[in-house]
A = this chain, B = another copy of it.
Amino acid sequence: MSILVVGSVAFDNIASPSGSAENILGGAATYFALAASYFTGVRVVAVVGDDFNSDHELVLKRRGIDTRGIERATGKTFRWGGHYTDNLNEAKTDFTELNVFEQFQPKIPKAYHDTKFLFLANIHPTLQSAVRQEMDGVRFTGGDTMNYWINNTPTELTGMLKLVNVLLINDTETKMIAHESNLPRAAQKVLAMGPEALVIKHGEYGATIFFREGAFGIGHHPFRAPTLPIDEVRDPTGAGDSFAGGFMGYIASQEELNREVLKRALFYGGVMGSFAVERFGTERLQSLTREEIDERFQVFRELTHLE
C-alpha cells in the first residue's frame, strides 16, 4: 500500500534555546512524508521553486519517497522563519513568504490515481476538497487544518470536513471549530460535522482519538496515546506533521481498518512526533530505523501499562 500527501514543502529558518538553523528543508508534506516512509510507500504532491535542488530532493528519495508529484515553478520556494523561547509548545513566527506556494494548485500525476490512502495537509480547504474529489478511489482520507482557515473560510472548511475520514488537529483548533470550550463536547460537535474519527493532538502530553458512534467498530470510549516527556527538545517544528505521518503511514501499512489499528496508529504518531523534535528540522527523521521506532513504541506503551 502507499499513501499520497498533498501539502507544503518549505525552507525554514528556526531558532530555539538549543540553537538555530537557516534554509533547512521543511514544510508539512516533507515532515509527513519522511515520517510515513518508515511504514509504507509515500507519494508527494507539492510545489517548489528554483531554489529546490537535487540535494533537497535526495532527502526524500533516499527514503524511497515518490517525488514525481512535486511541481517545479518559477520563483522561490515557500519560506518560513520562526523561533521558540522557553515555552517550546509555541512557535513565534518571524516571517512567512508564500512565494510559489501562494498559487499552489495541486496537480496529481496519473500514476498516483490508484493511491488508496490520502493525507490532506494544512492548505486551503477548497484545495483539500478538490484533491479528495479527484482521488475518488481512496479508501481512507486524513486531513489537517489551522486557525487561519477556521476563522477565514468556515464554509469551505465545513465542506472539507464531510470528505475526510479522520481529522487531526490540536485542542485549541477543536474548540474553535466547535465553538465549545469543553473538549469532549467539542469533539462530539466536530464528529457531527463529518469525520468518523477525530485525533486531538495535545503536544507533549500525547493525543486522544474520538470515534463517531459505530465507526470502525463498537464502543464509544475515546482512546489516548501518551508520549514520554523528551529530555532534549531541540526543535518542535514539524512535530504535528510527523505525528500525522506516523499515524497515517501505519494505517496504510495494515490490511484491516479497525479501532485497534487506529489505536496503535495513535501510538506510532506520538513516536514519530517525539523523534522529530530531538534534532533541528527533519534531521532525526532522515536516519531512523524501524527497530528504533518499535523500541520507542514499546516504551510509550509501557509508560501507562499496569501489570
Q: Taking beta carbons and an 8 Å cutoff, which residues of A are in contact with B?
A: 17, 86-88, 181-185, 187, 202, 204-206, 208, 221-226, 228-233, 260, 263-264, 267, 299, 301-307
| Known contacts A205-B202, A208-B229, A229-B208; A221/B303 CB under 8 A | yes
In Å, the complex CA distance between A237 and B277 comes to 34
In Å, the complex CA distance between A154 and B305 comes to 36
A224: contacting residue among B86, B226, B260, B263, CB under 8 A: B226
Chain B residue numbers with a CB within 8 Å of A206 are 205, 226
A302: contacting residue among B181, B205, B221, B226, CB under 8 A: B221
Residue pairs across A and B with Cβ atoms less than 8 A apart, 12 shown, are A17-B181, A87-B181, A182-B232, A185-B231, A205-B205, A206-B226, A221-B228, A221-B303, A223-B303, A224-B228, A304-B304, A305-B305
* Smallest beta-carbon distance A109→chain B, Å: 37
| Known contacts A181-B86, A202-B205; A304/B229 CB under 8 A | no
* Smallest beta-carbon distance A184→chain B, Å: 5
* Smallest beta-carbon distance A277→chain B, Å: 11
In Å, the complex CA distance between A231 and B187 comes to 10
A299: contacting residue among B17, B205, B221, B267, CB under 8 A: B221
Residue of B nearest to A264 (CB): B306
Chain B residue numbers with a CB within 8 Å of A205 are 202, 205-206
